[in-house]
Structure 1
Amino acid sequence: MHEMDEATARLEHLVSTARRAEEMAAEWSTRRHVGRADEGRIVATTDAVGALVTLEISPLSRKRLDARRLADEILAAVTKAEQAAAASQDELLRGLHS
């Protein structure tokens, strides 16, 4: 009977862990991550996996930056948002293993 109790306890622990992982993944999947550049005038937003969702460029940035600099600043904002998404994913995976 002792073996059956241990097996039941292990099964309950696995079910609890799976439920927690599912809840964490569901919450994580709704997150948005923001990267800013050009003193906050360029804002890139990605979803949980790092796909670009929105890109906001201030008219001031378009006016004062030449094409190359504007492209560099856009890239910087998108990269920051992607890095935030990757860090969030790493955090989720660490949480699932703990």
Structure 2
Amino acid sequence: MEEAMARLDELVSTARRAEEAAAEWSARRFTGRADEGRVVATTDALGVLLDLRIHPVSRSRLDARRLADEILAAITRAEEEAETARSRLLPGLH
């Protein structure tokens, strides 16, 4: 019985750590940059775009298609950063 209780305590502790880690991860913001750092996208942990900053140099130097490509690259990098953070979170819970 003591072994079962110890195992149950361990499971509860692991679940609590997982919940805390998930809450911390979901509250984080992730940033991706493109066009030499002049296009900056910020997303939440789920990839929702929260902020997009485009330097005036990028606006004037890039045509619409290239600017769109750079915006997409910045957003993709932010999403990749979030995915990397999530991947690092999961192994620590085992």
Does residue 39 of structure 1 match 2:32? no
2:18 paired residue number: 21
Once the two structures are TM-superposed, the CA of residue 12 in structure 1 deviates from its matched residue by 0.9
Count, aligned residues: 94
SS in 2 for 1:6: helix
Consecutive aligned runs of 4 or more in structure 1 exceeding 6 Å deviation: none
**Identity of aligned pairs, percent?**
69
Q: CA deviation at 1:92?
A: 1.6
Structure 1 residue matching 2:36: 3-state secondary structure: coil
Unpaired segments of 5 or more residues in structure 2? none
Calculate the aligned-residue CA RMSD, in Å: 1.0
Pairs within 5 Å for 1:6-85: 6-85=3-82
Larger Rg: 1
| TM-score computed with the length of structure 2 as normaliser | 0.93
The residue type equivalent to 1:82 in the other structure is: E
What is the identity, as a one-letter code, of the residue corresponding to 1:26? A
Give, in angstroms, the shift of residue 34 of structure 1: 0.5
- List runs of 5+ in structure 1 lacking aligned partners: none
- State the AA in 2 paired with 1:14: L
